[in-house]
Amino acid sequence: MILCASPPAIIPSRPRRLRHRTTTPSLPPHFRSPHRLLHRQLLASSSPPPLSRAQRRPRVGAQPAAMVFSVTKKETTPFDGQKPGTSGLRKKVTVFQQPHYLANFVQSTFNALPADQVKGATIVVSGDGRYFSKDAVQIITKMAAANGVRRVWVGQDTLLSTPAVSAIIRERIAADGSKATGAFILTASHNPGGPTEDFGIKYNMGNGGPAPESVTDKIFSNTKTITEYLISDDLPDVDVSALGVTTFTGPEGPFDVDVFDSATDYIKLMKTIFDFETIKKLLASPKFSFCFDGLHGVAGAYAKRMFVDELGASESSLLNCVPKEDFGGGHPDPNLTYAKELVERMGLGKSSSNVEPPEFGAAADGDADRNMVLGKRFFVTPSDSVAIIAANAVQSIPYFASGLKGVARSMPTSAALDVVAKNLNLKFFEVPTGWKFFGNLMDAGMCSVCGEESFGTGSDHIREKDGIWAVLAWLSILAYKNKDNLGGDKLVSVEDIVLQHWATYGRHYYTRYDYENVDAEAAKELMANLVKMQSSLTDVNKLIKEIQPNVSDVVSADEFEYKDPVDGSVSKHQGIRYLFGDGSRLVFRLSGTGSVGATIRIYIEQYENDSSKTGRESSDALSPLVDVALKLSKIQEYTGRSAPTVIT
């Protein structure tokens, strides 16, 4: 059904594109090759073939006119299971490639938003560049035009890291003074990519943060009742490899697609936070060496510009920094299991090498919001990382020179940050997993630094976790600690900083066991049994003593529930906690980031404030609690798994 008929026949002409000169190198052709299965399926039913480049090319000397498009209603039926998780909707690529699947979710999102955030608005559409992203960008752009959006901003080659999207929403201003009201971010974060792997989509709001539950609940409700969506089939694909603005005209007036450089705005923001000159001096020291692994994710679009061009690091210090649609066949999750090349280079691998490891190493995940920090032959846990950044931020990072407003962590993250907050007399918050909970605190001016144990760290400069920000924060701390020592015999190392932190605040030995793609019903039964056991802590402690007599008693247990201090909303069933008398914890939680089955996560934490005991091997210190966690939960009995998929 045509909502608005096209005007009288016109001679097709190339859309007006305002090009800008740039020195940014384009990505290799193999990355820019489009995969257009779903796009073809959507267009085949009712629209003519798209115009060829030759057909759209204006005659020599002619002034190109803005391409005119119409709006079409497409009938559709709901798909089951389009409920956004903690970070949007994630499914296999083949699921998203079904006709109408992506369109249903996008229209359900438009319908869930206030009218002024759609009609006449500016939205961002980009992501981590994984397989199917280029098709998705074209589809969403055509739907945005049909729904009355005024302009769409797209990162060159559809690439924008998740933190960069947040920064763009908050900081970028259009020529007419307008700002973006939100963004569709195309990412499945740290999940694998490729034709048979994962794709994802989530919506971020005008503050730059993920949509709150009030919005995602509306989106999900809409997906269950949707009967039609709007799309402009005759809007030609936009060349996302070329910088510039393409202008079209539709029933509601002009519609622009602005393809812009992925890194410029983000680097500009980082320069307002960190002292780049101080970091450059550290990287220039002959005693300091640096290594960054992009895991073939979107971080590669920023790494050379940031670390090499701006900060002077050697280009040889970059690993896997060419973004690829399948992440080079790897798993873009920055941990000791999947970041194998970096782990080997930093001296933590199984193979021996005579090559001296770098002083500092780091990695980012597929969409560059997660990070891993390593020293020479030394791993920094994410829980320790956020605590150390918070403890050193005021002295080391100019952005925090006037003090921290508060700090926060997700519930499963170790209590290392709690101890820092208590010692420094800072406001402290424990929130459910999901960055949107930090966003509320930041918007209210209550939190400056926050983090999650799942390798996510960030601050109130944006409303997402930020992998490259975390790397720069650590480089700033190292630069500060060595500001008077760059000519000395030995630099203060990552390991030195962590050991000093433990001596001051105690050590939280910590690990996480992930059981991925387990049977969903079995996972629910396991969690239900753990809740049931909490009704009698006497029986729980009796069982624990039978497993490990020297483990402390459980003094309280609950299913975590959070009341937001800003908006009063309540989030229930956020994880099951067993809290021990010595400050240790066991936490059990179902993850919302997988695309198939269920992922059970077990978090095991042993606190030690005796400085003579903080240097033990983590596996030795945690062994008794690990034994308790596995037997208390009956994980093997419920899942049939004798070992976790990943240990971090």
- What residues are annotated to the active site? 189
Residue 252 CA to residue 249 CA, distance in Å, equals: 8
Distance (Å, whole) CA 49 – CA 345: 51
Q: HEC profile for 38-63?
A: HHHHHHHCCCCCCCCHHHHCCCCCCC
Q: Are 170 and 205 in contact (CB under 8 A)?
A: no
Q: Would you list the DSSP string of 299-314?
A: THHHHIIIIIIIT---
Q: Which two tokens stand for residue 128?
A: 């981590």
Tokens of 73: 């209603």
Are the beta carbons of 68 and 183 closer than 8 angstroms?
Answer: no
Give, for 395, the enclosing helix (H) or strand (E).
Answer: helix 382-396
Beta bridge partner(s), residue 628: none
| Identity at 446, one-letter amino acid code | M
Please state, as a whole number, how many other Cβ atoms lie within 10 Å of the Cβ of residue 2.
10
List CB contacts of 254: < 8 A, sequence separation 6 or more: 66, 150, 247, 248
Give SS3 for 407: strand
Please tell me the distance from the alpha carbon of residue 645 to that of residue 543, in angstroms, as a whole number: 26
Take residue 520 and report the two structure tokens written for it: 């969903």
33: how many CB neighbours lie within 10 A of its CB? 10
Reading the block at residue 521, the tokens are 């019903």
Asked if 635 contacts 600 with a C-beta cutoff of 8 angstroms, the reply is yes
Q: Are 202 and 89 in contact (CB under 8 A)?
A: yes
Which of 532, 577, 530, 573 has the alpha carbon at shortest distance from 554? 577
Contact 386, 453 (CB under 8 A): no
SS3 assignment, position 640: coil
Placement of tokens 């074209």 in the chain: 138
Using the Cα atoms of residue 278, residue 283, residue 287 and residue 289 in order, give the sign of their dihedral.
Answer: positive
Tokens of 188: 């499945």
What distance separates the 2 farthest-apart alpha carbons in the chain?
Answer: 88
Angle at 373 between CA 370 and CA 374, to 5 degrees: 150
Q: What kind and span of H or E run contains 171?
A: helix 162-171
Q: How far apart are CA 598 and CA 606, in angstroms?
A: 26
**Which residue matches tokens 């498009």?**
69
Beta-strand ranges (E) seen in 205-354 are 228-231, 244-250, 253-260, 290-293, 318-319
Interatomic CA distance for residues 65 and 58, integer angstroms: 9
Amino acid at 237: D
Displacement of CA 153 from its chain's centroid (Å): 19
